[in-house]
Structure 1
Amino acid sequence: MTDGAWSPIEPPYDPEFDQREQSESEPPDYLDDPYRDVVLNDPAPAEPAKQKQGRAPTQSAELVEMAKALYRMAKSPEGKIYAVKHDQPGLALPLKGTAGGLRQQLSSLYYAQKKRTASSTALQEMMSVLEGDAMAAADEHVFLRFADDAATGTLYIDLGTPDGQTIAVTPTGWKLLPTSPVLFRRSALISPMPHPQQGGSLEGLRKLINIPESGFRLLIGWLVASCIHDIPHPILGIIGQQGTAKTSAMKLLIQLISPSPATSNIPDKVDDWATTAYNAPIIGLDNVSTLKPWFQDALCKAVTGDGYIKRENYSDSDITVLHFKRPIVITSIDPGSLQGDVSDRLLRVDLDPIPENGRRTEKEVKNEFDSIRRSSHGAILDLLAGVIGILPNVKLEEMPRMADFARVLAALDQVTGWTTLEDYLKTTTEAAVDVIEGNLFAAAIRDLIEDCGVWTGTTTELLEKVSPHPRPQIWPKTPGAAGGALKRNIPPLKSIGISVMSHRTSTSRRYTISKTDIPICQTCFGEMSINTVKSGAIVHPLCQEPKELFPKE
């Protein structure tokens, strides 16, 4: 600045003012920056690790931790998955199910603790994690009501109570256990039962069932055998005219050793039958008159052991297997409608008519049963302990059909001095007679053999020989149907002394039907003379002995 000349006073430099002025007057320089969008849209910097660790867990994680704190996962040999509570190691809870499953229980528990509901997505994620854990676990057998431990020879019976108490039966006796050493599952067809009484008696039960003494002892044998789950059991047929209290007797027997809220209905579909048989420890079918052929086949499979395969819901590739072997009780006025293979597995007991002055109301019967059931159950368990102690050493001279059950009766006879095995073998013959009397085609074959002793021919010739005129509506209409009917009736025919053999010629299949005491040539299937048989021959002198299909080297 020169002397004497006016000059404005310059204020001190203010950088913030310059910045404000620039923002108001002209756009900032960075608007022209090509990297502006990238910078502005960059994600926020990551939170410090300390903040991440403090984030609340998700619902699914909470549910998984809750489940693992309360349960362990288990898997059956069939691939079914269960949860086992740590404080109830003997009860297996299904993961899925409309009632009582793990999903429902944890959903309810989660709300009780958190005061909010768990989402469906969180529950599904939890289920996926638990299913994965279960599939990695070793297989464990899961039983329904009755179980055994092959290593120790101990039988176990689930009382069905919420606390998981179990009966353990050994050759030395039985006792109650607070928890089971084996896994039991529960179903809607299992009800709890009271504690059995040590030193019980069968006298009270005997008075409740109107049956001859031999029949009552067979009932007891069937009850004892039903507690041994891994053997085939004959179908118990409670037979009697109207007014013999068949239904009441069936319910008493089932309620005694395996109470259930309901008996079963005769199903219309295979799926319904498989579901019932899988979930019912003992199956009761009331007022049986006629049974469809497929269901009679299903009954035969159920008593000896059956596995039913069905497709999983909402899946084209996943399947589930329902395996079961069950004791079955039926009541009927006339068992003659049963086909041969069912009658061959039938234990028939006939009830006596109840006199008019001996009838009681249902409530009176129930009250009396409740007063004696603990004593009766204890007596059954005493007999069961004695039987399993003897059973390993029981040998039968001849092994009848249902041989495992026959061995149980033989052991029971040794324990009690009864004759249940002999009585059982008699009932099988009686059941066969009933089946043949109720089957017109089988009865015609019986009459044919009673007349001629031996008959040989094709099924076409058999139809021509035995068919009445006119033919009944249910009569086999074709040779194929006649062959099927003949095969189904082989067991009852054999029980009354008639044998059926088939053999193929170069042009046809032929059948030889004869009395079992008539010797038959093993080559031409004609009748042989007594002298020829006494010589030790199995064929006629002019016939060649049959060649072995697989001759020994």
Structure 2
Amino acid sequence: MNNEKKITTKKSPKDEQIKDMLVDEKTMPANNKESQASLMISLAMDRAYFFHTHDGEPYACYIVEERLETAQIKDKSFQSWLNYIYYKETGKPISPSSLQNASRIFQAEAEYKGTEEQVYIRYANHGGNIYIDLANKRWEQIEITKGQGWKIIAASESPVKFRRVKGMAPLSIPSKKASFTPLKTFFHFEEEDYILTIAWLIGSMNPKGPFPVMALSGEQGTAKSTTSRILKDIIDPSTTPLISLPRNERDLAIAADGTWSLLFDNISKLSGNMSDALCRISTGGGFRTRALYSNNDEIFFNSTRPIIINGISDFIIRQDLADRSIIINLPFIPENRRMPERKLWSIWENVKPLVLGALCNTLSTTLLNIDNQNNNSSYSRMADFECFVEAAESVLPWKKSSFRKAYRENKSKIIDITFDSDDVAGAVLKMIEQTHSHEFTGSPTELLKTLDTHIDDKTQKLKEWPKKPNILSNRLKRCAPFLRAKGILLERGKSGQRYIKIYKTDDIVQSIHKSRSKK
């Protein structure tokens, strides 16, 4: 006789309901799967519409608690919303296969019947206005109009659509009590650097770009990381603001595609390839790569983004990147002027809306004046950035033309920094100054031999020193703009004539002769 007692438990109505909901897909009748997908399609079509971007990416715009949200059909947020509306309607979860079948229909609807629309990250330009995604739960935006100021609007009122990406944090609501003054409390800058910092912030809120790279350098204890975080927090808050520099261009392109601004912390050295990649992100340039696990499919990236980088040493030494940069050397902060980070960020949260309000007011003025700018002045490579800032100078806290003066002086300092770190440029300058005629004409091979006589053995043995004429020619092309700034011009032979002519302009030559005669 079996004396074992059979243990039984009383099932609650809730247990029975859960059992009914957890139906095994494998045993589900085919017509039930089909009806689930059909009902899902019907529910979503009543609450969403579908479209595609220029690149063919399928998107959905859907209603969530009376607000309008936008996401790719494959995104977790949209898939979660589909699960939610189905459960709300039926009291049961939809099977994964039915959800997948319905999603395929939504994708086809977006690709073949949907309109082509553009989707933005954080900043957009439309109809002459600027729109900024606050990235808050209400999906609100800032609308900035020409000379009419700004206002907060719902996504349903906006002509543009924004996508949300992982790591985005909400912007503060701008304050009508606008002021740039709090920045002076947090940034211990010289007046010129203060002007350039505000100018960079204004330029970084221009949806069209281009964007100068903000490079902060200084010894330990100069608040490089904190200053960088504050700058990013104003224009593009993030849950992880400080990141390391990516290892390669592909990772950099992916990072740029998923955020509005990039902040790379504690840089010690930039390779030539990475410098070139940062140039493309700063002023615009595409990147294409093969898709993972695919032999034929390619992925295209084309993002222009504001960039902040910081480090102790002079890490920008390539002329192309230097010509696109604003370099600020941060002063040391004495102990009696420091405060705990907790207190600093608490104060910053209170004053940040004032700064954002001032920036929004400035952008409104820029939009009003940008088309009436006097374009007869000389501009640098970052001409669009200069015009954008100068269009608002009438409402900025400095005298007219102060920005241009500060920007030109900064670029002059940058030339000196990069010139000192470029052995080829330094050797060319030394050669021209020590040559009686102050010029050289010859083949690349002859030039390389001549330059070798103007450098020491240590420099010749450096890996960076060109060992072949063609490499020397490429290096000369890179440093030509900065040599020109020093009054040294380069000419190359045409129609197959392989010669290089290097000479000083007449005014520079005359100044050299005067200095020699005085001696």
Q: Contact (CA 8 Å) 2:63, 2:69: kept in 1 or not? A: no
Q: Distance in 1 between matches of 2:287 and 2:463?
A: 33
Matched, 1:69 2:46: yes
Q: Contact (CA 8 Å) 1:232, 1:405: kept in 2 or not? A: yes
By how many angstroms is 1:312 displaced?
A: 4.3
For 2:432, the equivalent position in structure 1 comes to: 449
For 2:477, the equivalent position in structure 1 comes to: 487
For 1:512, the equivalent position in structure 2 comes to: 501
By how many angstroms is 1:76 displaced?
A: 1.3
Q: Distance in 2 between matches of 1:89 and 1:313?
A: 36
For 1:277, the equivalent position in structure 2 comes to: 256
Letter in 2 for 1:208: F
For 1:403, the equivalent position in structure 2 comes to: 383
Matched, 1:412 2:356: no
Letter in 2 for 1:166: Q
By how many angstroms is 1:516 displaced?
A: 4.0
Q: Contact (CA 8 Å) 1:160, 1:193: kept in 2 or not? A: yes
- The Cα offsets for residues 347-377 of structure 1, whole Å up to 9 and x where unpaired, read as 1222222112112222122111112101111
- Assess, with a 3 A threshold, how the Cα gap between structure 1 residues 116 and 430 changes in structure 2: closer, same or farther: same
Q: Distance in 1 between matches of 2:68 and 2:197?
A: 30
1:456 match: secondary structure: strand
1:139 match: secondary structure: coil
For 1:385, the equivalent position in structure 2 comes to: 364
By how many angstroms is 1:195 displaced?
A: 0.9
By how many angstroms is 1:86 displaced?
A: 3.8
For 1:239, the equivalent position in structure 2 comes to: 217
- The Cα offsets for residues 145-184 of structure 1, whole Å up to 9 and x where unpaired, read as 01111x3x11111100121111111122111112232111
By how many angstroms is 1:389 displaced?
A: 1.2
Letter in 2 for 1:411: A
Letter in 1 for 2:423: L
Q: Contact (CA 8 Å) 2:34, 2:98: kept in 1 or not? A: no
Letter in 1 for 2:409: K
Q: Distance in 2 between matches of 1:215 and 1:193?
A: 25
For 1:20, the equivalent position in structure 2 comes to: none
Q: Contact (CA 8 Å) 2:131, 2:141: kept in 1 or not? A: yes
2:101 match: secondary structure: helix
- Assess, with a 3 A threshold, how the Cα gap between structure 1 residues 245 and 386 changes in structure 2: closer, same or farther: same
By how many angstroms is 1:505 displaced?
A: 6.0
- Assess, with a 3 A threshold, how the Cα gap between structure 1 residues 172 and 451 changes in structure 2: closer, same or farther: farther
Aligned residue pairs total: 463
For 1:361, the equivalent position in structure 2 comes to: 340
By how many angstroms is 1:307 displaced?
A: 2.5
Q: Distance in 1 between matches of 2:344 and 2:504?
A: 48
Higher helix share: 2
Q: Distance in 2 between matches of 1:512 and 1:288?
A: 37
For 1:143, the equivalent position in structure 2 comes to: 120
Out of 427, 446, 457, the residue aligned to residue 461 of structure 1 is 446
Q: Contact (CA 8 Å) 1:205, 1:369: kept in 2 or not? A: no
By how many angstroms is 1:142 displaced?
A: 1.0
Q: Contact (CA 8 Å) 1:337, 1:438: kept in 2 or not? A: no
- Assess, with a 3 A threshold, how the Cα gap between structure 1 residues 93 and 335 changes in structure 2: closer, same or farther: same
- The Cα offsets for residues 369-421 of structure 1, whole Å up to 9 and x where unpaired, read as 11210111111111221222111111232132110011123223333334111
1:248 match: secondary structure: helix
For 1:127, the equivalent position in structure 2 comes to: 103
Matched, 1:199 2:177: yes
Q: Contact (CA 8 Å) 2:33, 2:95: kept in 1 or not? A: no
Segment drifting more, 456-465 vs 398-407? 456-465
Q: Contact (CA 8 Å) 1:196, 1:374: kept in 2 or not? A: yes
- Assess, with a 3 A threshold, how the Cα gap between structure 1 residues 123 and 285 changes in structure 2: closer, same or farther: same
- The Cα offsets for residues 318-354 of structure 1, whole Å up to 9 and x where unpaired, read as 4443221111111133335421100110112222221
Identity, % of aligned positions? 27
By how many angstroms is 1:67 displaced?
A: 2.4
By how many angstroms is 1:458 displaced?
A: 2.4
- Assess, with a 3 A threshold, how the Cα gap between structure 1 residues 168 and 415 changes in structure 2: closer, same or farther: same
Structure possessing the higher radius of gyration over alpha carbons: 1
By how many angstroms is 1:487 displaced?
A: 1.4
2:263 match: secondary structure: strand
For 1:156, the equivalent position in structure 2 comes to: 131
Segment drifting more, 482-491 vs 81-90? 81-90
Q: Contact (CA 8 Å) 2:67, 2:154: kept in 1 or not? A: no
For 2:17, the equivalent position in structure 1 comes to: none
- Assess, with a 3 A threshold, how the Cα gap between structure 1 residues 503 and 56 changes in structure 2: closer, same or farther: closer
Q: Contact (CA 8 Å) 1:202, 1:375: kept in 2 or not? A: yes
TM-score normalized by the length of structure 2? 0.83
By how many angstroms is 1:481 displaced?
A: 1.7
By how many angstroms is 1:126 displaced?
A: 1.8
Segment drifting more, 88-97 vs 205-214? 88-97
- The Cα offsets for residues 15-40 of structure 1, whole Å up to 9 and x where unpaired, read as xxxxxxxxxxxxxxxxxxxxxxxxxx
Letter in 1 for 2:480: I
Matched, 1:473 2:463: yes
Letter in 1 for 2:427: A
Out of 430, 437, 448, the residue aligned to residue 413 of structure 2 is 430
Segment drifting more, 290-299 vs 63-72? 63-72
TM-score normalized by the length of structure 1? 0.78
Q: Contact (CA 8 Å) 2:217, 2:330: kept in 1 or not? A: yes
By how many angstroms is 1:227 displaced?
A: 1.1
Q: Contact (CA 8 Å) 1:89, 1:183: kept in 2 or not? A: no
